[in-house]
Chain A
Amino acid sequence: MAIPKVEDLRAAVATEPNMFTGAIPRKDWQDTFTEFKEGNFAYPAKPEMVEYHHFPNPRIWSPDQDDWKLPDGWEDIILNGLRERLDKFRSLKVFMDICVRCGACADKCHFFLGTGDPKNMPVLRAELLRSVYRNEFTVGRKLLGKMQGNRPMTVKVLKEWFMYSYQCTECRRCSVFCPYGIDTAEITMMMRELLHLVGVGINWILEPAANSNRTGNHMGLQPHTFKDNIGYLVDDVKEITGVDVHPTFNRKGAEILFITPSADVFAEPGIYTFMGYLLLFEHIGLDYTLSTYASEGGNFGLFTSNEMMKKLNAKMYAEAKRLGVKWILGGECGHMWRVIHQYMDTMNGPADFMEVPKSPITGTVFENARSTKMVHISEFTADLIKHGKLKLDPKRNAHRVPTFHDSCNPARAMGLMDEPRYILDNVVPKWHEMNENCIREKTYCCGSGTGLNTGEIMELRMRAGLPRANAVQDVNQRFGVNALATVCAIDRATLSTLMEYWLPNTSDDPSRATDVDVIGLSELVGNALVMDGEIENREQGLRFEELITTETEG
């Protein structure tokens, strides 16, 4: 057998689509086809899930098969759906019309930077929808036609929408750089909504949404399991600190309802964050309760459709009303805060049955939450620190040298940037900022948001997360940063995986998977709290890790 020359081999692999996606396109974008291969798409929604949500066209199908089993007349369904949404959402109409193709957004998307695929440039991503919009809904369409890049709605276009609306985490970084403020995330949301109209969606969004609908949380935890899990965390807190903490459930008449992502109750490293909350609330004697019904802060409706988002969000107010609380305190989550801050009030408000949130400890009135009645745990904690209400020993976190990852939604959708930093200043001896173009409103996404945090697209997630990992790597090398603090449940999971790939363990300790641990900010708070009645000279952190305070500094 003749041995092929390397050059021949390369030619073969470069021109033929391979394992992951089709080869990176070299032709004009309109002339390239989207090739689905195992590994480059998230699995489609199971028929039960589609049916559960009363979405159309439940069936077994797979993106890598030619026939997607679309319903008859699907083109009209999509176009009518688009027409309806253009009427309903002014922003969509504006975003369709005003892009001048200046290209300022082109190289700002982490998906483009990680994949190099031009269709991941935000301007081209939007063009996938815009080209159809122009063809169907604008005046000059007949005259300019293809010259202008207009396209009819075809299967090829539909497949492109699916590929690239699920290679956008709706992080909105691009919008920060657009002179017109065009928000490509909104365009992605519309493409996903339209795809659902013909039964094209992914399982890892619809299933958690179904769980949330059914049991109140993504995990599908039933009330007793939810309660039991928190019970285990209470035991752990006791073992580590010697302190009894007293969470209550579904308690009517509590002053505050606390809602956090269910991941905090169930998965590492979120559970340590939850232990942090428990210690904090005990420390200040907060009159709060948890709900086993509103047991999920996250809202995968945001990644599905506006109706679904509204429905899943409604339980927060419903539960607050049922329990008769004065206001709601929210835990560390990303997209939950986008929903609360940008949509909740108009969708399910006004929540007049509650009071304007006022800290029972400091008396601070949270004017920013006057309407939503919901306060972020970081705002709440920062206020406590500012008023000297917490007894903190930052040296307990001396084994951590953190940097801070601004999660896309809290940073860009609610402007939460200074409070977490202020908290860090007070709970760790030292921490370091990443490069200024990668933080605050310019922060890079974890690469796995909006329901893309599923295992079957791991390579894609690692590519998309590279810009973030790269900035962490820099502070790791320059300052010995060994922890990545964040205020988002999905981040805590996805960044852990990202760190394990891009910053694998180089220490002698084989039990570690990475050089940089991902940590919820409230874990650092909890670990630094000096509690009444705690074990003298506490030796363990909330992860049962050894503390180094006693040996290093006095």
Chain B
Amino acid sequence: MTLPELLIKKREYLLGRWEDIILGEYAKDTFRIFKKQKDPFANPVGHKIRIGMAELYDLLCDESDTEVATPGLEDLLRVRAVQPIAASTAISFVFDLKTLVAEQCEKEGMDRLYKEFLAFCARVDAAALAMFDIFSNCRQTVYQIRMNEFKTGRHIITDSARCSSQIMKEDMADSIRNRTTNAQPNEER
């Protein structure tokens, strides 16, 4: 069996285990719910992880496919880009697939599959770089949408209403301000 054949045969099994690695970042109870609930509307994070990983898996297995930015993978990274995790964590799950695939190669005889495995790893590395670009774009969008709130005047609804507070500041006694010396984050706004 060639590696591509092996990857197709083991698709469901490997995807399941790979998914568990990402979902394993969450607490126990969350893991259970995100894993079990298959309704995409009742479990959007679990759903987007599932779809995104499946699309990524398929393109890593298909040597003719070079376009990494599939809609599902973009969505998955969009989820990752607003999660409380570091950029490295957000992307690193793709490398976990190497480990999982290596295990399978061991079982089938790594000596024979070694070259194919190396080629697979190279594809994973290339995908990781492309994924990092997608991730960065998502982060960029986060900054952009904050700017957009300002530009449209929505920030007046979604952030401090400056006009009157300015007036109020002038109106109000300085007593409190005088009590403090250090500028705080909330003061810098």
Which B residue's beta carbon lies closest to that of A114?
A: B45
Q: Does A117 contact B (CB under 8 A)?
A: yes
Give CA–CA (A112, B164) in the complex, Å.
36
Check if A220 sits within 8 Å of B163, measured CB to CB: yes
User: Which residues of chain B (105-161) have a CB below 8 Å from chain A?
Assistant: 141-142, 144-146, 148-149, 152-161
User: Which residues of chain B (44-94) have a CB below 8 Å from chain A?
Assistant: 44-45, 47-48, 78-79, 82-86, 88-89, 92
Shortest distance between the CB of A441 and any CB in chain B (Å): 15
Q: Mark B171-189, 1 if CB is under 8 A from A, else 0.
A: 0100011001010111101
Check if A116 sits within 8 Å of B146, measured CB to CB: no
Give CA–CA (A211, B169) in the complex, Å.
12
Check if A455 sits within 8 Å of B158, measured CB to CB: yes
Q: Does A521 contact B (CB under 8 A)?
A: no
Give CA–CA (A162, B142) in the complex, Å.
25
Q: Which of A59, A214, A497 contacts B164 (CB 8 A)?
A: A214
User: A267 contacts which chain B residues (CB < 8 A)?
Assistant: 152-154, 156-157
Check if B149 sits within 8 Å of A463, measured CB to CB: no
Check if B40 sits within 8 Å of A207, measured CB to CB: no
Given contacts A48-B169, A60-B184, A501-B142, whether A14 and B159 have CB atoms under 8 Å apart is: no
Q: Mark A49-60, 1 if CB is under 8 A from B, else 0.
A: 101100000111
Q: Does A371 contact B (CB under 8 A)?
A: no
User: B79 contacts which chain A residues (CB < 8 A)?
Assistant: 466
Give CA–CA (A20, B160) in the complex, Å.
21
User: A47 contacts which chain B residues (CB < 8 A)?
Assistant: 176-177
Q: Does B2 contact A (CB under 8 A)?
A: no
User: A463 contacts which chain B residues (CB < 8 A)?
Assistant: 82-83
Check if A43 sits within 8 Å of B189, measured CB to CB: yes
Q: Mark A81-124, 1 if CB is under 8 A from B, else 0.
A: 00000000000000000000000001100001111111001000
Check if A453 sits within 8 Å of B157, measured CB to CB: yes
Q: Which of B40, B44, B168 contacts A48 (CB 8 A)?
A: B168
Check if B176 sits within 8 Å of A459, measured CB to CB: no
Which B residue's beta carbon lies closest to that of A269?
A: B152
Q: Which of B160, B176, B180 contacts A207 (CB 8 A)?
A: B160
Which A residue's beta carbon lies closest to that of B164?
A: A220
Q: Does B18 contact A (CB under 8 A)?
A: no
Check if B158 sits within 8 Å of A10, measured CB to CB: no
Given contacts A454-B158, A502-B78, whether A116 and B88 have CB atoms under 8 Å apart is: no
Given contacts A215-B164, A462-B142, A496-B152, whether A113 and B88 have CB atoms under 8 Å apart is: no
Give CA–CA (A409, B157) in the complex, Å.
18
Q: Does A126 contact B (CB under 8 A)?
A: no
Q: Does B167 contact A (CB under 8 A)?
A: yes
Check if A38 sits within 8 Å of B28, measured CB to CB: no
Number of interface residues of B (CB under 8 A): 62
Check if A203 sits within 8 Å of B160, measured CB to CB: yes
Check if A117 sits within 8 Å of B163, measured CB to CB: no
User: Which residues of chain A (432-480) have a CB below 8 Å from chain B?
Assistant: 435, 437-438, 448, 453-455, 458-460, 462-463, 466-467, 470-471, 474
Give CA–CA (A500, B143) in the complex, Å.
11
Q: Does A23 contact B (CB under 8 A)?
A: yes
Check if B89 sits within 8 Å of A10, measured CB to CB: yes
Q: Mark A1-43, 1 if CB is under 8 A from B, else 0.
A: 0000010011001100011111111100000000000101001
Q: Mark A212-225, 1 if CB is under 8 A from B, else 0.
A: 00110011111000
Which B residue's beta carbon lies closest to that of A496?
A: B154
Which A residue's beta carbon lies closest to that of B160?
A: A207
User: B40 contacts which chain A residues (CB < 8 A)?
Assistant: 470, 474
Tell which of A238-246, A395-403, A487-495, A545-553 binds the partner: A487-495
Give CA–CA (A513, B177) in the complex, Å.
40
Give CA–CA (A40, B183) in the complex, Å.
20
Q: Does B39 contact A (CB under 8 A)?
A: yes
Give CA–CA (A48, B43) in the complex, Å.
42
Given contacts A458-B145, A470-B40, whether A26 and B88 have CB atoms under 8 Å apart is: no
Check if B172 sits within 8 Å of A52, measured CB to CB: yes
Q: Which of A61, A207, A268, A500 contacts B184 (CB 8 A)?
A: A61
User: A448 contacts which chain B residues (CB < 8 A)?
Assistant: 158
User: Which residues of chain A (174-229) have a CB below 8 Å from chain B?
Assistant: 203-204, 207-208, 210-211, 214-215, 218-222
Check if B154 sits within 8 Å of A210, measured CB to CB: no
Q: Does B25 contact A (CB under 8 A)?
A: yes
Give CA–CA (A338, B49) in the complex, Å.
36
Shortest distance between the CB of A90 and any CB in chain B (Å): 31
Pick from A106, A117, A203, A462 the residue with the most CB of B within 10 Å: A462
Which B residue's beta carbon lies closest to that of A471?
A: B41
Q: Which of A59, A204, A462, A493 contacts B154 (CB 8 A)?
A: A493
Given contacts A40-B84, A116-B26, whether A458 and B41 have CB atoms under 8 Å apart is: no
User: A38 contacts which chain B residues (CB < 8 A)?
Assistant: 185
Give CA–CA (A269, B154) in the complex, Å.
8
Check if A14 sits within 8 Å of B89, measured CB to CB: yes
Given contacts A24-B26, A459-B142, whether A268 and B169 have CB atoms under 8 Å apart is: no
Shortest distance between the CB of A280 and any CB in chain B (Å): 23
Which A residue's beta carbon lies closest to that of B47?
A: A470
Check if B149 sits within 8 Å of A497, measured CB to CB: yes
Check if A454 sits within 8 Å of B185, measured CB to CB: no
User: B44 contacts which chain A residues (CB < 8 A)?
Assistant: 113-114, 466-467, 470
Shortest distance between the CB of A511 and any CB in chain B (Å): 12
Shortest distance between the CB of B34 and any CB in chain A (Å): 7
Rank and list the top 6 A-B pairs by shortest CB-CB distance, nearest first: A220-B164, A20-B84, A267-B153, A470-B44, A13-B86, A268-B152
- Chain A interface residues toward B at CB < 8 A: 6, 9-10, 13-14, 18-26, 38, 40, 43-44, 46-49, 51-52, 58-62, 64, 106-107, 112-118, 121, 203-204, 207-208, 210-211, 214-215, 218-222, 263, 266-270, 435, 437-438, 448, 453-455, 458-460, 462-463, 466-467, 470-471, 474, 489-490, 493-494, 496-497, 500-502, 504, 513
- Chain B interface residues toward A at CB < 8 A: 25-30, 33-34, 37, 39-45, 47-48, 78-79, 82-86, 88-89, 92, 95, 141-142, 144-146, 148-149, 152-161, 163-165, 167-169, 172, 176-177, 180, 182, 184-187, 189
